[in-house]
Amino acid sequence: MSYRSENYEKIAATLKKNFEKRQIDFFYCDTVERAKEQVLSLIPKGASVAWGGSLSMEESGVMDAVKNGDYRTIDRHRSSDPQEQKKIYGEIVCADFFLMSTNAFTLDGQLVNIDGLGNRVACLSYGPDKVIILASMDKLCTDVDEAIRRVHLMAAPPNALRVKADTPCSKTGVCADCQSPGSICCQTLVTRISRIPGRITVVLTGEKLGF
Does 167 bind ligand SF4 (CB under 6 A)? Our answer is: yes
Give me the least distance between CB of 155 and ligand SF4, in Å please: 8
Residues 112, 105 contacting (CB under 8 angstroms)? yes
Residues 17, 40 contacting (CB under 8 angstroms)? no
Does 177 bind ligand SF4 (CB under 6 A)? Our answer is: yes
Question: HEC profile for 33-53?
Answer: HHHHHHHHHCCCCCCEEEECC
Q: Which is nearer to ligand SF4, 159 or 205 (CB)?
A: 159
According to CB under 6 A, which one of 99, 184, 200, 204 is a site residue for ligand SF4? 184
Give me the least distance between CB of 5 and ligand SF4, in Å please: 31
Burial class (CB in 10 A: 0-12, 13-18, 19+), 55: middle
Residues 202, 127 contacting (CB under 8 angstroms)? no
Residues 185, 156 contacting (CB under 8 angstroms)? yes
Does 160 bind ligand SF4 (CB under 6 A)? Our answer is: yes
Does 156 bind ligand SF4 (CB under 6 A)? Our answer is: yes
Give me the least distance between CB of 165 and ligand SF4, in Å please: 6
Strand partners, 187: 115
According to CB under 6 A, which one of 65, 178, 189, 190 is a site residue for ligand SF4? 178
Does 183 bind ligand SF4 (CB under 6 A)? Our answer is: yes
Q: Which residues contribute to the site for ligand SF4 (CB under 6 A)?
A: 152, 156-157, 160, 167-169, 175-178, 180, 183-185
